[in-house]
Amino acid sequence: MLTYPQIDPVIFKVGPLAVRWYGLMYVISFFCCLFLCRYQLKEKNLKELYPFLENLLFYSFLGLVIGARLGFCFFYYPDYFFKNPLEIIAIWKGGMSFHGGLIGSVLAGYIYIKKNGQSFLWWADLIVVTAPIGLFFGRIGNFINGELYGKPSNLPWAMIFPEGGPIPRHPVQLYECLVTGLFLFLFMWNLRKKEWPYGTKLAIFLILYGTLRFLFEFLREPAQSFNLFLGWMTMGQFLCLIMIISGILLLYFLRKDFIKKYL
């Protein structure tokens, strides 16, 4: 068994303001995405799109934060937050959902892109190959917070998490950090120069991340306030199925040239 490193989630405080590692991970992810997207535009000799990219990422990031919080509240604990709506804005207490963040960022990005007469699928492909780097840092933040830990395990690398009781558990955050973060980033980044129909890379990401996350959910301690779907499926797995189906449908419609005029 490995010893869980007791890292204070708060980096420092200035009066009532606390700067947390988890929040810092969001900021690092944003700038990594910005740098990698600018690098791609430079490869394409499209430096004139830098200002548009910066605005797009700003609005998408806002949508991500809002969507991630709302997703956590209403995907996982709807009963509590419907009874305590003011708690929704208490983001300093933790609680963000990847799937909610994905929905929020896509909606915000889509509105901004279409308002400016650009191709959503082109920009989505450019940005999505950088998305796993955000997942990498996000899972590090989860690990530091001691949240989203796994089910009990007797493996040599199992850890006792502060809020997980005295039982060694899978450090699922680290599993996902490496697989859906680092490895998926290396795979998606290697696809960036592929001249495929716009939207193909987005579809691949939806299918791959959805599948990997679905599998890792079997090792994670379920986090939701209602019964499991079909007696075994978590909310995270249900949302991943929607991701996978969405990716498959996107690939299908791209082949039929049916969806391009809308996106």
Q: Is residue 147 part of a domain?
A: yes
Sequence letter at residue 90: A
Rg of the chain over all Cα atoms, to the nearest angstrom: 19
CA distances from 81 to 78, 147, 238 (A): 5, 19, 21
Print the domain residue range for 178: 10-255
Tokens coding 169: 């558990």
CA distance 198 to 193: 12
Structure letter (DSSP) for residue 259? S
The confidence score (pLDDT) of residue 13 equals: 86
Q: How far apart, in whole angstroms, are the C-alpha atoms of residue 106 and residue 101?
A: 8
- The reply to whether 3 falls in a domain is no
Q: Identify whether 225 is part of a domain.
A: yes
In a domain, 4, yes or no: no
* Digit-coded pLDDT (tens) for 50-81: 999 999 999 999 999 999 999 999 988 888 89
Within a domain: 117: yes
Q: Which residues of the chain fall short of a pLDDT of 50? A: none
pLDDT digits 0-9 by tens, 92-131: 667 889 999 999 999 999 999 999 999 999 999 999 999 9
Whether residue 237 lies inside any domain: the answer is: yes
**How confident is the model at residue 205, as a pLDDT?**
98
Q: Would you say residue 81 lies in a domain?
A: yes
Q: Is 260 domain-assigned? A: no
Which of 129, 112, 108 has its CA nearest to residue 200?
A: 129
Q: Is 139 annotated as a binding residue?
A: yes
Cα distance between residue 136 and residue 182, in whole Å: 6
Nearest residue to 155 via CA among 219, 206, 92: 219
Separation of alpha carbons 90 and 223, rounded Å:
18
**What's the structural domain count of the chain?**
1
Q: Give the model's pLDDT for residue 58.
A: 97
